[in-house]
Amino acid sequence: MLVKELPITERPREKALKFGIHSLSNRELLAILIRNGYQGKSSLGIADDILFSCNGIGNLSSVDLNDLLKIKGIKKVKALEILTCIEIARRIAFEEALTVDVIDEPKAIINWLNKEIGFNKQENFMVIYLDIKNRIITYKILFKGTIDHSLVHPREIIKEALLVSSSKIMLIHNHPSGDPTPSQADIKMTKQVIEATSLVGINVLDHIIVSSNRYFSLAQSKLM
């Protein structure tokens, strides 16, 4: 059934205008971005195809341009509009993370990290540099690709910390497998970084592993 054949109160745009954007389902929100379908499938049907391809709205951050272009009815312009919304959500999450004590309010930073690297198909190793109130000063991605733990040099971490006057840091990386459980190599590397940075007064507050909307905190699990 075409969207225009639905009762007015069930058409996504009309429903949003009457009841508010929060009244829309995930498929209806996507359908507004998609706007038009093709013969035999409505914008709602295409929205269903996108959600099915990424296993739900929670994993939408994992899609890229090529993934979207594989969906029939999605061309470059529509794909870019969807990716723009995903990028806006990521940037909002980062701005929210900037305003909080990341230790007292970890939810904000976890939300941002999952959007930033949680769905990446390659491993990323990141260091977050904090001020005395545990708020983010800046962050730096040191590695992309398969992480060789032997290449995580504390001197690079220390150098950046000194440049931004940070005495507190958090180690971050992602597991593309979907399982954030740390390996023995992850734990060993964490302890090596802690030992080296402590010599110059830099405190490693946590090592967080994110993966597909899940996370593992080595500090919370007392593994560091």
Amino acid 61: pLDDT:
87
Distance (Å) of CA 165 to CA 123, 142, 160: 27, 18, 8
223 in any annotated domain: no
Q: Which domain holds residue 179?
A: 102-217
Same domain, 25 and 131: no
pLDDT digits (tens, 9 = 90+) for 73-101: 999 999 999 999 999 999 999 999 999 99
Token representation of residue 147: 């992480």
Amino acid 148: pLDDT:
63
Same domain, 87 and 115: no
166 in any annotated domain: yes
97 in any annotated domain: no
Q: Which of 38, 72, 91 is the last residue of a domain?
A: 91
Q: Which of 56, 91, 126 is the last residue of a domain?
A: 91
What average pLDDT does the segment 160-189 reach? 94
Buried b / exposed e along 99-114 (16+ C-beta atoms within 10 A): ebebbeebebbbbbbb
Model confidence at 122, in pLDDT bands (50, 70, 90)?
confident
224 in any annotated domain: no
Amino acid 134: pLDDT:
95
Residue 186 belongs to a domain with what CATH number? 3.40.140.10
Same domain, 82 and 113: no
Amino acid 121: pLDDT:
85
Same domain, 23 and 117: no
Total number of domains constituting the chain: 2
pLDDT digits (tens, 9 = 90+) for 5-54: 666 667 899 999 999 999 999 999 999 999 999 988 999 999 999 999 99
